[in-house]
Amino acid sequence: MASLHVLLKYFHCLVLLLCLQLASAEIRSNSTSGVIAKPYCPDRCGNISIPYPFGIGRGCFVNKFFELTCNNSVPMIGSLKVTNLAVDDGQMTVESIIASTCNSTTFFVNTYLGTFTVSATKNKLISIGCDTMAAINDYPPIGFNCSNCNFKKNVAIDGACDGMGCCETSIPPRLSSYNVSVGRFGENSIYDNPCSYAFIAENSSFQFSPSYLQDFKNKGTGVVPLVVDWTIGFVTCDIAATDKTSYACGPNTLCESCNSNTPGYLCKCKPGFEGNPYLSSSTVGHCKDINECVDKNLIHDERCGRPESICFNTEGGYDCPCKEGFKEYGTKCILDKRAGYHDKIAAGMKICGIHFIVFSNSLCKITN
């Protein structure tokens, strides 16, 4: 009988170890859910998050075009300061320099983005000044018909870039290397409004003010936000997936081929999964199943909000069937009368089990 006590002790120890292992696994899972970079790689520079495929330092980025440097807590890609990086939509925001001239000389600002391109949908070309023209590369300039400032007849309106001292237009797609030029074509207002400006900027970031006609550059930081599109490689998903060594999408992901304006592809977590889609299964932080059952908002779900239902997490989703003793009736859970017989059997088995345990303990005491 002593051997029985030893076996029971070992059994209790095994159960305790199993519980501890499950608890520690849950803690590890929670602590790694916010990982965005490769192991041993910095995930921040200053207050900017640096998610893979971007990275700082050797082995921390997917290829050389995604390499960033961190200078005095300022992330840089080439010579451009990065202010935001987004994995979900394949875009980042950088600071773009303003081109300006305060005489009759045309001024140029050159920008090189490597394999990345200026977002044609999120940015626009803007010129500020009287008798001002602006252009991108060899495309037709803007300003000849919309930047006259005859203040005797017209007054520039605050917030309106409609031709009175301010012009704007869409930009061509697939700009990865470009120059913005700004110049003047008249002398009528050079003394009242001596300077002209031109830049490409994010659509929602700029609001014109008549005071900019006097000195726009010194009223800000000398830079404007520019949205840049980035993709992986230059081929579609079908072609990229054939080369497992260079294919960038991790487990539980979907690959999305970009359009002709932006060649390459992007990776996204499958529905019901979350994480960084570019991290592999050998690292933490890759796309993992979301446990929707812990979401408090699930109560608003038609099926899961029923008090008689119970939530079960599934891979990539969840299900909320009726609890034991209830059955589906349309969108409701109603009492299942047939379950009463089975409940009685289950209750009887529980009582028998309790009696068996009590009897076993009594037998052990007698034998001891």
Structural domain includes residue 20: no
Strand, coil or helix: 349: helix
Structural domain includes residue 168: yes
C-alpha 127: how far from its chain's center? 31
Structural domain includes residue 55: yes
Q: Phi/psi of residue 49, each to 5°?
A: -75, 140
174: left (phi > 0), else alpha (psi -120 to 50), else beta?
Answer: left
Nearest to 188 by CA among 232, 239, 131, 228: 131
The predicted structure's pLDDT at residue 183: 85
CB-neighbour burial class of residue 97 (10 A; exposed 0-12, middle 13-18, buried 19+): middle
The predicted-structure confidence for 94-126, as pLDDT tens digits, reads as follows 999 898 888 777 788 888 898 999 999 999 999
Helix (H) / strand (E) element for 202: namely strand 196-202
Do 147 and 131 touch, CB atoms closer than 8 A? yes
Read off the CATH number of the domain in which 329 is found: 2.10.25
Q: Which band of pLDDT confidence, cut at 50, 70 and 90, is reported for residue 29?
A: very low
Structural domain includes residue 4: no
Do 84 and 48 touch, CB atoms closer than 8 A? yes
Q: Report how many domains make up the chain.
A: 3
Lowest mean pLDDT among 86-90, 272-276, 345-349: 345-349
Statement: the pTM of the whole predicted model exceeds 0.95: no
Mean pLDDT of the chain: 80
Residues 103 and 217 in one domain: yes
143's CB contacts (< 8 A; 6+ apart) are 127, 132, 133, 134, 167, 185
The predicted structure's pLDDT at residue 368: 45
Strand, coil or helix: 237: helix
Q: Which band of pLDDT confidence, cut at 50, 70 and 90, is reported for residue 206?
A: confident
The predicted-structure confidence for 252-274, as pLDDT tens digits, reads as follows 999 999 877 778 999 999 999 99
Greatest mean pLDDT among 12-16, 96-100, 104-108, 235-239 lies in 235-239
- Residue numbers of the domain that contains 131: 91-229
Structural domain includes residue 346: no
Residues 216 and 104 in one domain: yes
Residues 100 and 202 in one domain: yes
* Higher per-residue confidence, 278 vs 158: 278
Residues 217 and 111 in one domain: yes
The predicted structure's pLDDT at residue 18: 40
Greatest mean pLDDT among 19-23, 181-185, 323-327, 356-360 lies in 323-327
Residues 310 and 213 in one domain: no
Structural domain includes residue 323: yes
The predicted-structure confidence for 165-194, as pLDDT tens digits, reads as follows 888 888 888 888 888 988 887 665 555 667
d(CA 294, CA 296): 6
Residues 213 and 235 in one domain: no
Residues 163 and 103 in one domain: yes
Residues 222 and 134 in one domain: yes
Do 199 and 136 touch, CB atoms closer than 8 A? no
d(CA 368, CA 366): 5
Q: Cis before residue 53, ω within 30 degrees of 0?
A: yes
pLDDT above 60 (res 284) = yes
d(CA 106, CA 100): 9
Average pLDDT over residues 278-294: 92
Structural domain includes residue 67: yes
Residues 145 and 263 in one domain: no
Structural domain includes residue 96: yes
Residues 49 and 72 in one domain: yes
pLDDT above 80 (res 49) = yes
The predicted structure's pLDDT at residue 13: 44
Q: Token match 């990982």: residue? A: 35
Residues of the chain with pLDDT > 90: what percent? 44
The predicted structure's pLDDT at residue 166: 86
Residues 110 and 182 in one domain: yes
pLDDT above 80 (res 52) = yes
Helix (H) / strand (E) element for 317: namely strand 317-319
Residues 197 and 267 in one domain: no
Q: Phi/psi of residue 321, each to 5°?
A: -75, 175
Read off the CATH number of the domain in which 176 is found: 2.60.120
| Separation of first and last alpha carbons in the chain | 8
Greatest mean pLDDT among 112-116, 269-273, 326-330, 336-340 lies in 269-273
